[in-house]
Amino acid sequence: MGEVKERILGLRKERLERLATLNPETKLTLSLLRRSPLAVIGISMVTIFASIALLGPYLAPYDPYQLDLSVRFSPPSAGHWFGTDGEGRDIFSRVVFGSRYSLVAGLVPVISAVILGVILGAIAGFKGGKIEDLLMRITDMFLAFPSTILAMAIAAGLGPSLENAMIAMIAVWWPSYARLVRGSVLSIKETEYVEAARATGETDINLIFRYVLPNALSPIIVMATLDIGGAILTAAGLSFIGLGAQPPTPEWGAMVNAARIYAIEYWWLPTFPGLAILAVVLGFNLFGDGLRDALDPRLRRF
């Protein structure tokens, strides 16, 4: 029993050491990201907004829904850093809490679209034949419409809410991932190592998830990183036209929408949520650009 226990502990230690050790590819990717000033700026901006979203209740000095008509339309000051709105609510607190809604509105649709698109694209590319034709024709139907117009139409049909806006964005984004994955799978499934695995009796599911998809992840990750910024901007746009988050939800697009009629006289109302949208979208775009360069085979030299 003692020898068996020692062997099990030894295997566990070896596994933990292997997990803790970064492989050369990962080290090279991190090294290339560190060498890119724009990527570092993007990662820093994304990290800051993610931290704000997580620590919102501790950072916001006021309840984002608290009304105080005695200080309505107050300009930025020591008491209210970003000023107050027409109901006396603290804009800084609302921008801080709005980071949660905006990040969720960016992450959830993209992650869901990636999962759906990867599954359908992998099945289409690996199986081929009638299954591929059917899935690709469905994909083409969605891609035939301008994405923003289609998202607006779906959101309007489902009803105005942030949840329905995210469903609309999922419907718009998954076809792009399905097309991307299908193209990658078509080339990877014919490689020698996949054929060798098939010859050993591996099932189609194992072939897809163990041998094909891991080698198609790089473009998916880059595209998803860039799409998160686009999803945040789309969600804010849908909220701005009344199809997304509804008042008094402190979502940045809804805040800009509510402030548009006061934009000239009370400039701080749309300015700060607008700058927050700009900063987080720029952060994800810079991060995505840096990641794309880091994963570029032409730059990966050991």
What pLDDT digit, counting tens, does each position of 15-50 carry? 444 444 445 556 656 666 677 788 888 889 999 999
For tokens 């008491």, what's the residue? 79
SS3 content of the chain, % helix, strand, coil (to 5): 75, 0, 20
Q: For 122-129, what is the mean pLDDT?
A: 84
Q: For 187-207, what is the mean pLDDT?
A: 76
Strand residues in 145-267 grouped as ranges (E): none
Q: What pLDDT is recorded for position 157?
A: 92
**Which residues lie closer than 8 Å to 264 by C-beta, 6 or more apart?**
none
For residue 141, give Cα distances in angstroms to 102, 147, 203.
29, 12, 31
Q: What pLDDT is recorded for position 3?
A: 54
Q: What is the dihedral of CA 141, 144, 146, 150, to 10 degrees?
A: -20
What are the φ/ψ torsions at residue 159 (nearest 5 degrees)? 110, 150
pLDDT tens-place string over residues 134-176: 988 999 898 888 888 899 999 999 999 999 999 999 999 999 9
Q: What pLDDT is recorded for position 76?
A: 94
Cα–Cα distance for residue pair 272/250, rounded to 1 Å: 12
CB 103 within 8 A of CB 82: no
Q: What is the pTM of this model?
A: 0.82
Q: What pLDDT is recorded for position 52?
A: 92
Least confident of 117-126, 140-149, 185-194: 185-194
For residue 126, give Cα distances in angstroms to 120, 133, 186, 212, 222.
10, 12, 7, 9, 22
Cα–Cα distance for residue pair 139/124, rounded to 1 Å: 11
Average pLDDT across the chain, whole number: 83
User: Residue 84: beta bridge partners?
Assistant: 90
Q: Which CATH architecture has domain 44-63+78-299?
A: Orthogonal Bundle (1.10)
Nearest residue to 243 via CA among 144, 149, 109? 149
Cα–Cα distance for residue pair 151/164, rounded to 1 Å: 10
Cα–Cα distance for residue pair 164/170, rounded to 1 Å: 10
Nearest residue to 174 via CA among 135, 203, 232? 135
pLDDT category at 73 given cuts 50, 70, 90 is very high
- Which pairs from 201-209 meet CB under 8 Å and 24+ separation? 204/126, 204/127, 207/126, 208/122, 208/123, 208/126
Q: Which helix (H) or strand (E) holds 115?
A: helix 91-127
Least confident of 29-43, 219-233, 260-274: 29-43
Q: What pLDDT is recorded for position 19?
A: 40
Sequence ranges of the domains in the chain: 44-63+78-299
Q: What pLDDT is recorded for position 302?
A: 46
Q: Count the neighbouring beta carbons within 10 Å of the beta carbon of residue 208.
A: 24
Q: For 222-226, what is the mean pLDDT?
A: 88
**Range picked from 23-27, 83-87, 205-209 for highest mean pLDDT:** 83-87
Q: What pLDDT is recorded for position 167?
A: 94
Q: What pLDDT is recorded for position 24?
A: 59
